Each structure stands twice: as C-alpha cells, then as structure tokens.
Amino acid sequence: MDGDTAVEPQLDSFSLTFPLPYRVAFIIILAVWGWGLNLHFLHIRRIDVPSLIRYPGRSSANQPPHHHSTYRLATFLSATSSLSIVVFWLFSRRDPQRVIDYDWIPMTNLLVLAGLFAIPLRSLSVSHSGRGRLMRALRRVSIGGLAEAKDGKFGDILLADVLTSYARIFADLFVCVCMFLTRNGSATDRPDRGCGGVVMVPLIMAVPSAIRLRQCLIEYVRVRQSPYKESVGWGGQHLANAAKYSTAFPVIVLGSLLRNLSGEDRAVATGLYRGWVAACLLNSLYSFYWDVAKDWDLTLFSESRERESPDHPFGLRRRLLVHKPVVYYVVIASDLVLRCTWMLKLNTRLDRITDFEGSIFLIQFLEVFRRWVWIFFRVETEWIRSGSTGLGGDDILMNDFQGNKYEDED
C-alpha cells in the first residue's frame, strides 16, 4: 500500500516498484499510443485527421496509414522503457537504498526518450517526418504561437490543449531532474515537489494554460483585424475561451499557498481553502460547459427549443459521426466526473489517500484518459464544421443509429 512506513519511512512501496521517472515516461508514451488509437478509430469513421491538421497525406495507396507509423513509434518507445525498467528491477530488487542509488537508470531512459523524439532517426524508420513536424509544432506552441488556418492552426490548438492535461506530468518531470541534480538527492527517492523552491512547480503547471490563453488572444486579434468581421463576428468567443484558461491560475496559486502554509494561522488556512474550492469549482464547471457546448457543439446547454429538437437526440446534434447517442451521453457524464476529481479532497477520509503517490499517478492517468476521449469528439466537431464530411451515402445521421449499423459493436 502507498505510504507503507514499514517498508521505508521516506519511500512508499509503490515508488519502490514504479519510481517517478518511470511514471513520467509511462504517461508520455501513453500519449503516443493514444494518438495512434485516435487516428486509427477516426480513420475507420472516415474522418481525415491529417487533412484537418494540415499534415501531408500519403502519396500512394500502398503506403501504410498514419496510425501505423504512430503505432511503430509507440512500440519502439515502449520497448526501450520496458528494457530499462527490467534492468532497474534486476539491480534494485525493491531495496529502498538500491532504488535510490540506481536512479541513473530511469533518468537515462528519460534522456533516451527525449532523444528519440528530438533526434532524426531515418535509419530506424520510426516516424521521422511525423516527429519532425511534432517538434516544430512544439517549438511554435511552447511560446503560445498559433499557425494560420491554412498552415495547421487546428493542429496547434489540439496540441496545446493536450499539453494542459500534461501540466502535472511536466511538473513531475522537472521534479525528477531537480532531485537528480541536487547534491545528495535522487530522482527515485520520495518525490519532493518543493524541489527548486515554492515557485517553480506551480509555474511549470501554469505554462500550458498560459499557452492556450495566448493562442485565444491571438485568435481574437486576428478576428478584429479581419476584413470579414461581419461574417466571423467580433471575437467574443475567443475572449470567453481565454477567460476559461485563466481560471486555472487561481487554482494553481491557491493550491501552492495551501501546501506551503505553516499551520499557525487557521483563519488564513480556512480562507485559502475556501478560495481554492471556489476556484476549482469555477474552473471545472466552466471547462465542462466549454467541452460540451463549444468544443463538441452539443446542444445540452442550448435553449430548450434547440436542445429538444426532433431533428437530433436530446441535448446532442443532428450529425453524429463517432458512435451511437448513448456513447455521447456516457462521455458527457464521464467528462464531468473526471473534471471534478479534485473533490476527493473535500472528503476528510479520502483527502489523505489522494496524497499517496499511487493516487497521484491514478489521477494523472485519468486526466490523460479524459483528454484522449475528448480528442475523438473535438476532431469530429472540427470535421463537421469544415464541411469536409465527404461521407456520401455512408454519412451517419440520426436515422442510421436506429438501424442495424452498430448492432454488432455493442
């Protein structure tokens, strides 16, 4: 069990088997597998993701689809990490001191993963062109940049949104490096999320939201400067979206203040805690509303006449390309639940459990899973908006779901 002091006072049993550097690597590799599954499923649904993100299409029908290349890269990354952790287990044998001493093995694995993403490896045929485009997009997005629509704006937005779900993982990556470089420290010791001072970890967690906020402001400025303002509006929706990302900052700041507050002033602690709860509630509900109403263009929060229209299932929309209506309802409910995992801290019995390393890892995994599901419906929405459905007689409308098209998939 996490926090088992009988094993080692400073190192919980979960970390003995699965130290923080390997947890970071696992979730990063999971993103590659998840993207491959996104591409694969949407390809089956005849949604051309590469065209939406302005990625070059295959020049020949004999070339494998894009998701095959992504799977190949994910397999290669998984193989290197699997080999590394097996070697680590053989050396450390779950002995606390050995786990701490051999921290260079998982840190070397992180360095190898970074190299596989950043360094061209044409000879290994592991998605060279895709990785190159990813690194260029990351460099552009990392400073809040946003490509023009013709150059892949949607891809930049999609990538930046994914980064917001990886904010905690990036913070843990910094913690790993900081602990490894600290004198007498170890990257595989009990994670010290105060490493580098009280500012660094919150600052790193805030960067992805700041990136998306800046992208929204760029979109607003472009709309205001557009000669077609009459047709595209005045840009208010981009300001509202920027406001949504700004709600993440109070959550991060107040949470950091609470963690570093001495137990002397209960009045201050109570005030900060209530402010943190209010900030979390605003951020979660605002983000949930935006997921459903704006990112997925569903009518659940629209006026009753539109929400209850006979042209589509209740609260959804007429054109549904991903699956049956019931799947959309399940996804809406799960998105709300996973947006509110912070509420576990409101329960005095569960509050301590959420501080265990295993629980922190599970919450990070669930957020990445939520974002993975979100991508299916966000890409579907963009495909419909672009008018590129191009499905002809296979177009999936409401009536299609009442037939036998999906009976074998239940």
Q: Per residue in 14-23, pLDDT tens?
A: 888 999 999 9
The region, left, alpha or beta by phi > 0 then psi within -120 to 50, assigned to residue 18 is beta
Which H/E stretch holds residue 131? helix 128-141
Torsion, Cα 383 384 390 396, to 10 degrees, reads: 120
Q: Is the pLDDT of residue 157 over 50?
A: yes
Residue 12 pLDDT: 81
The DSSP output letter for 293 is I
Q: Comparing 143-147, 149-153, 232-236, which segment has the lowest mean pLDDT?
A: 232-236
Distance from C-alpha of 338 to C-alpha of 341, rounded to nearest angstrom? 5
Most trustworthy range by pLDDT among 18-22, 128-132, 218-222, 396-400:
18-22
Q: Is the pLDDT of residue 397 over 80?
A: no
Q: 179-199: per-residue pLDDT in tens?
A: 999 877 888 888 888 887 888
Q: 69-87: per-residue pLDDT in tens?
A: 888 889 989 999 999 999 9
Q: Under 8 Å CB-to-CB from 241, ≥6 apart: which residues?
A: 216, 290, 294
Residue 60 pLDDT: 59
Angle between helices 266-290 and 248-259 (to 10 degrees): 150
Q: Which residue in the block uniquely carries the two structure tokens 């061209």?
A: 120
Handedness of CA 205, 14, 28, 158 (dihedral sign): negative
Q: Kindly report the number of other CB atoms within 10 A of residue 347's CB atom.
A: 11
Distance from C-alpha of 103 to C-alpha of 187, rounded to nearest angstrom? 6
Distance from C-alpha of 203 to C-alpha of 193, rounded to nearest angstrom? 12
53 or 243, higher pLDDT: 243
CA–CA distance from 317 to each of 154, 324, 394 (Å)? 22, 12, 18
What percent of the chain is predicted at pLDDT more than 70?
Answer: 82
Distance from C-alpha of 21 to C-alpha of 160, rounded to nearest angstrom? 23
Residue 5 pLDDT: 37
Q: 198-249: per-residue pLDDT in tens?
A: 889 999 999 999 999 999 999 898 888 876 655 556 778 899 999 999 999 9
Q: 256-287: per-residue pLDDT in tens?
A: 888 877 666 777 778 888 899 999 999 999 99
Distance from C-alpha of 30 to C-alpha of 28, rounded to nearest angstrom? 5
Distance from C-alpha of 174 to C-alpha of 169, rounded to nearest angstrom? 9
| Long-range Cβ pairs for the range 145-154 (8 Å, 24+) | 145/215, 145/218, 146/215, 146/218, 146/219, 147/54, 150/54, 151/54, 152/53, 152/54, 152/55, 154/52, 154/53, 154/54, 154/382
How many degrees, rounded to 5, is the angle at CA 71 between CA 68 and CA 73? Answer: 115
Q: How many residues comprise the chain? A: 410
Angle between helices 128-141 and 153-165 (to 10 degrees): 80
Distance from C-alpha of 24 to C-alpha of 342, rounded to nearest angstrom? 20
Q: Is the pLDDT of residue 396 over 50?
A: no
Provide the H-helix boundaries in 143-301: 153-165, 167-181, 200-225, 229-232, 236-246, 248-259, 266-290
Max CA separation in the chain (angstroms): 69
Q: Comparing 117-121, 195-199, 368-372, 400-404, which segment has the lowest mean pLDDT?
A: 400-404
Residue 1 pLDDT: 41
Mean pLDDT, rounded, of the chain: 82
Structure tokens at 125: 């045929």
User: Where does the pLDDT of residue 350 fall: very low under 50, low under 70, confident under 90, or very high at 90 and above?
Assistant: low
What b-and-e string marks burial along 325-341, b requiring 16 or more CB atoms within 10 Å of the CB? Answer: bebbbebbeebbebbeb
Residue 6 pLDDT: 36
Structure tokens at 229: 């303002």
CA–CA distance from 14 to each of 38, 90, 109, 398 (Å)? 30, 17, 19, 47
